[in-house]
Chain A
């Protein structure tokens, strides 16, 4: 066994560090200080630059030695994120002054993180808890680096705030506006989305069962349902506001219209999914329509119904937010986005977007959990 296993990510990172060291100043003020040593110019990384090199070099070198994979990953994790932290905190207050070495060092730290994730992905721990932790940790590092690069580029290059605020500013805005955000979530998600989702999905399910029971409905309702689904939401939202008023009821109505059809179509398809043999079996038991529906056809349709519930969980959120652009009381996520854009408070817009993304993911995740519990028997869930 060799005591040293090179990895290309680490080697490239070290090369980038060397190039950065040769190029010298990492920011405009630092270059100014070098050019005029007598002037007292405060510049980023006055004291921390050595620490950045001191994190990336040894972390990279140690990770390539023969040590346990977990230890190598840990060393890389500390090296990459320590360096990234120093880079990001140093540039604060000197936005837009970054020079090439800043980006080279950032790239070097990112390569170490890449190597870290590569090592973590190749781990196959025996324990259930450890596997779970890895499943969360790997995407977390991925997401974190998306934010780090976003932060570094917006600060380093001084991207105008209205174009793209750095994530730290968005996080600060979220932290400072919790009461407003909570009121918006309550108005849009807990009232409009949930009510509309429940009514829309419930009505779609009921309509599908009725269409299945009565042939004339199947022939008459499905084409019309098809047409309703093609209605542009931009067109119906103002009309719903006229009908149901400015409060959340009109947004719930938009959500109902949006979620109804996916549920209807999926359930109609699902109700036809049970096999001929199973249906003949129910017939030999002299089972009635409703017994066959409850004991055979609805359980067999469950994967289709959950598909619709998952599609609708994201549709409902989009529908409610967009509908709020067309008249609303002075609260709600869509209202906040449309007004704060007008006031150039782009960080607030991003804060709402972040909250909506988290809420949408949680919504989807909860529906998925229910799906796994209800359709555990389906080959796609039990795996095989």
Chain B
């Protein structure tokens, strides 16, 4: 993963404190993390550990209160204005008044691409997430899994090298989730994007990632970074292998360690 280009994300001493009516909340405290091109990094931890906040700082949706962070060697704001990343939210957040194809075309419209370019990209990305044939449907006519796939297509449509995914499959049932996990891995292999993936699920994190960042709450910080030894080619049944279970056990340990002095 070492290259001459700057790392996709480089954070050092990153802290973020929210001022709430109950006093300050340390969402992130002194986080150091570097993410290289082509990595699939999962962030796992209990609620309030700052994993979503970290993703939002990368996306310039939150401003850090201390420390530094660079995205593609730029500030997050510059990176956002150059549309350096696609963001997939917890819910599909499709606009109900637009058809699926017009939803996917939304970022392209904002970027001011030509009609033909828009059509071509919409077709390509819908094909990538297996939604061909549903272009003219409205979001509320599709299942939750299809809606989330459409929102992934929307994030892929403008072809940013970095994909930020905030618990994208959290609200889906396990069968759909397995299916989408597999599709996501295939997509990652095909497009060679860098993916930052927030999740609550240990198997999901282990199955998908090249690196797993374990976080703990109050203050939100990184307790362990686990390099996956699994091969890049991962069939679903890899989840029953001893190697997989070993990594899962280490993630679980890391999560427990983060909790130990709290209760």
- Chain A positions within 8 Å of B, measured between CB atoms, are 275, 277-278, 280-287, 291, 295-296, 299, 302, 375-378, 382
Decide: A281 and B89 in contact? CB cutoff 8 A. yes
CA gap between A295 and B110 in the complex, in Å: 9
Decide: A277 and B89 in contact? CB cutoff 8 A. yes
Q: A291-B110, A295-B106 are in contact. Are A283 and B80 (CB under 8 A)?
A: yes
Of B42-50, B67-75, B93-101, B213-221, the one touching chain A? B93-101
> Which of A278, A284, A286 touches B95 (beta carbons < 8 Å)?
A278
Instruction: Name the B residues within 8 Å of A378 (CB-CB).
Output: 96
B100-111 interface bits toward A, Cβ cutoff 8 Å, 1 = contact, 0 = none: 000000110111
Decide: B85 and A299 in contact? CB cutoff 8 A. no
Instruction: Name the B residues within 8 Å of A299 (CB-CB).
Output: 95, 97
A-B contacts, 13 listed (Cβ < 8 Å) = A275-B93, A281-B89, A283-B61, A284-B59, A284-B61, A284-B85, A284-B86, A285-B110, A286-B83, A299-B95, A299-B97, A302-B97, A377-B140
Interface of B is mostly: loop
B81: Cβ under 8 A from any A Cβ: yes
Specify the chain A residue showing the minimal Cβ separation from B97: A377
B91: Cβ under 8 A from any A Cβ: yes
Decide: A277 and B80 in contact? CB cutoff 8 A. no
Most chain A CB within a 10 A radius of its CB, from B61, B93, B97: B97
State the Cβ distance, B59 to closest chain A Cβ, in Å. 6
Specify the chain A residue showing the minimal Cβ separation from B85: A284
Decide: B96 and A278 in contact? CB cutoff 8 A. no
> Which of A278, A283, A285 touches B93 (beta carbons < 8 Å)?
A278
Specify the chain A residue showing the minimal Cβ separation from B79: A286
Instruction: Name the B residues within 8 Å of A375 (CB-CB).
Output: 97
Instruction: Name the B residues within 8 Å of A377 (CB-CB).
Output: 96-97, 138, 140
CA gap between A299 and B103 in the complex, in Å: 13
State the Cβ distance, B86 to closest chain A Cβ, in Å. 8
Count of B interface residues, CB-CB < 8 Å: 25
A-contacting residues, B33-65, CB 8 Å:
59-61
Decide: B87 and A284 in contact? CB cutoff 8 A. yes
Decide: A280 and B61 in contact? CB cutoff 8 A. yes
CA gap between A287 and B83 in the complex, in Å: 10
Decide: A277 and B140 in contact? CB cutoff 8 A. no
Most chain B CB within a 10 A radius of its CB, from A281, A295, A296: A281
Instruction: Name the A residues within 8 Å of B89 (CB-CB).
Output: 277, 280-281
Contacts A284-B85, A286-B82 known; 12 new A-B pairs at CB < 8 A: A277-B89, A280-B89, A281-B87, A281-B89, A283-B80, A284-B80, A285-B110, A287-B110, A291-B110, A295-B106, A377-B140, A378-B96
State the Cβ distance, B50 to closest chain A Cβ, in Å. 17
A-contacting residues, B13-49, CB 8 Å:
none
Decide: A296 and B95 in contact? CB cutoff 8 A. yes
Instruction: Name the B residues within 8 Å of A285 (CB-CB).
Output: 83, 106-107, 110-111, 158
Specify the chain B residue showing the minimal Cβ separation from A282: B110
Specify the chain A residue showing the minimal Cβ separation from B81: A286
CA gap between A91 and B123 in the complex, in Å: 75
The 10 closest A-B CB pairs, nearest first, are A377-B96, A377-B97, A284-B87, A277-B93, A285-B107, A286-B81, A287-B110, A285-B110, A299-B97, A277-B89
Instruction: Name the A residues within 8 Å of B90 (CB-CB).
Output: 277
Specify the chain B residue showing the minimal Cβ separation from A291: B110
CA gap between A286 and B109 in the complex, in Å: 12
B115-148 interface bits toward A, Cβ cutoff 8 Å, 1 = contact, 0 = none: 0000000000000000000000010100000000
Instruction: Name the A residues within 8 Å of B59 (CB-CB).
Output: 284
Instruction: Name the A residues within 8 Å of B61 (CB-CB).
Output: 280, 283-284
Specify the chain B residue showing the minimal Cβ separation from A274: B95
